[in-house]
Amino acid sequence: MGKTKVAVTIDAATIIKIDRLVNAKVFANRSQAIQEALYEKIERIEHNRLAEECAKLDAVEERQLAEEGMNREIDAWPEY
């Protein structure tokens, strides 16, 4: 996918930290540092959203559904 140039305003203290990471060769440049930070943050947000949705599930009901399906499958398994 292509990239789009975006202008952002970042406080001086954060720029100093980014520049230290670039100078330490952790990142090739400021853009890479900021891009990777954004990717990581987005991944964390998406992961948290999934965890929040999973927390809404009823564990007892989910276990019953899983066991119900397993019981049907076990009956179809060949005898050893």
pLDDT tens, residue order, the chain (80 aa): 788 999 999 999 999 999 999 999 999 999 999 999 999 999 988 888 877 887 888 888 878 877 776 666 666 667 76
Sequence-distant (≥ 6) Cβ neighbours of residue 36 within 8 angstroms: 27
How confident is the model at residue 65, as a pLDDT? 76
Instruction: Tell me which residue of 18, 38, 41 sits closest to 28, measured CA to CA.
Output: 18
Please state the pTM of the whole predicted model.
Answer: 0.59
Number of C-beta neighbours around residue 27 at 10 A: 18
Tokens of 25: 């060769």
Q: What was the pLDDT predicted at 74? A: 64
The rounded distance, in Å, linking the Cα atoms of 55 and 66 is 17
